[in-house]
Amino acid sequence: MAEKTNKTDEMRLLRDCADAVRRRTDFTPRVALVLGSGLGGFADELRKTAEIPYEELPGFPRSTAPGHAGRLVLGYVEDVPVAVLQGRVHLYEGYSPAEVVRPVRLLAMLGAKIFFATNAAGGMRPELGAGELMMLTDHVSCFVPNPLRGENLDELGTRFPDMTEVYDAGLREILQSAAEKNGIELRRGVYVQLPGPSFETPAEIRMLAALGADAVGMSTVVEAVAARHAGLRVCAVSMIANLAAGLSPAPLSAEEVLAAANAAAPRFKALLWDSIARMKEDE
Ligand code: HPA
């Protein structure tokens, strides 16, 4: 993980990716959405204008995680232009932090103003059981490299970006009202990213709770940091797939995570649709 990101190479790759998209379409997304485990189907609900497999984007990482397709889908949620990363890449797949955040940066370069992250997570409070939806109010990065490490990409953002309010208050209000409209109880909490891929031990979960976290997962924080660096407004929702290790007698498994994600998908999709539809220019 200590590799030095070469700024020139990274910007060149990002520009090559942007050019590859631009050869296909002049679509300018407003919202950049990354779909977590089990949510890939949401991309099919868009009024699509283009679909670009990650293989066609130079230097673009390929998703190997279960339930992640590996496609950039461009289209509309009502009249809001959205770029969907159908399938995300994780640090645990062996990608460098710069590779993990390359898709988010590309969408910023294509004109996105809002980054909306979704993920599956383990709940660390008794009321955060399988199937709950939790809106992120803040995050903690734990043993995960900062994606901005290395020479700063000045074209995208400043060297020392502020992280006082990563998860935008206005977007949180939109999410809350979309949840109310759908009769969804939207929990709130702090998400902690660990590197994975092993799940946590019960002792680690006690440590993370002491650090102030409510839910634990293996994504999102590095992406949110890169998105803030690039000046995007950010919001994120976790689908709680399980109680974290030690909080229930059951062992954790990827199958359980996907099953919970699939079960929660209809509610999650309704929340996504109605909140994104409200993320118009003037809000
Ligand atoms: N820990 C980390 N990541 C996860 C979990 C968990 O318990 N559940 C789903 N993703």
For residue 229, what is the enclosing H or E element? helix 221-229
| pLDDT exceeds 70 at position 53 | yes
d(CA 62, CA 142): 24
Report the nearest-CA residue for atom 9 of ligand 1. Answer: 121
| pLDDT exceeds 90 at position 226 | yes
More confident residue, 33 or 256: 33
Q: In the chain, pLDDT over 70 holds for what percent of residues?
A: 94
Distance 263 CA to ligand 1 centre (A): 16
Name the pLDDT band for 118 (thresholds 50, 70, 90): very high
Rg of the Cα atoms in the chain:
18
The answer to whether the Cα torsion of 189, 195, 200, 204 is positive or negative is negative
Peptide linkage before 197 cis (omega within 30 of 0) = yes
Q: In the chain, pLDDT over 90 holds for what percent of residues?
A: 77
Residues touching ligand 1 (Cβ under 6 Å) are 120-122, 199-200, 216-218, 241-242, 244, 252, 257
Report the nearest-CA residue for atom 10 of ligand 1. Answer: 121
Other Cβ atoms less than 10 A from the Cβ of 252: the count is 17
Ranking 27-31, 66-70, 115-119, 235-239 by mean pLDDT, the lowest is 66-70
The amino acid present at 94, given as its one-letter code, is G
What atom in ligand 1 is closest to the CA of residue 242?
8
Domains of the chain: 7-277 (3.40.50.1580)
| pLDDT exceeds 80 at position 66 | no
d(CA 63, CA 137): 27
Name the pLDDT band for 262 (thresholds 50, 70, 90): confident
Name the pLDDT band for 250 (thresholds 50, 70, 90): confident
Task: Provide the 3-class DSSP secondary structure of residue 221.
Answer: helix
For the segment 35-53, the average pLDDT, to the nearest whole number, is 87
Exposed/middle/buried for residue 168 (C-beta within 10 Å: 0-12, 13-18, 19+): middle
What is the predicted pLDDT for the residue at 1? Answer: 45
278 neighbors 176 (Cβ within 8 angstroms): no
What is the predicted pLDDT for the residue at 260? Answer: 82
pLDDT digits 0-9 by tens, 171-214: 999 999 999 999 999 999 999 999 999 999 999 999 999 999 99
For the segment 60-81, the average pLDDT, to the nearest whole number, is 82
Distance 83 CA to ligand 1 centre (A): 26
For the segment 258-273, the average pLDDT, to the nearest whole number, is 89
Q: Which two tokens stand for residue 159?
A: 């060297």
Task: Provide the 3-class DSSP secondary structure of residue 32.
Answer: strand
- What pTM value is reported for the model? 0.94
What is the predicted pLDDT for the residue at 217? Answer: 97
Strands annotated E in the chain: 31-35, 47-53, 71-77, 80-86, 114-123, 133-141, 186-193, 215-217, 233-243
For the segment 223-235, the average pLDDT, to the nearest whole number, is 98
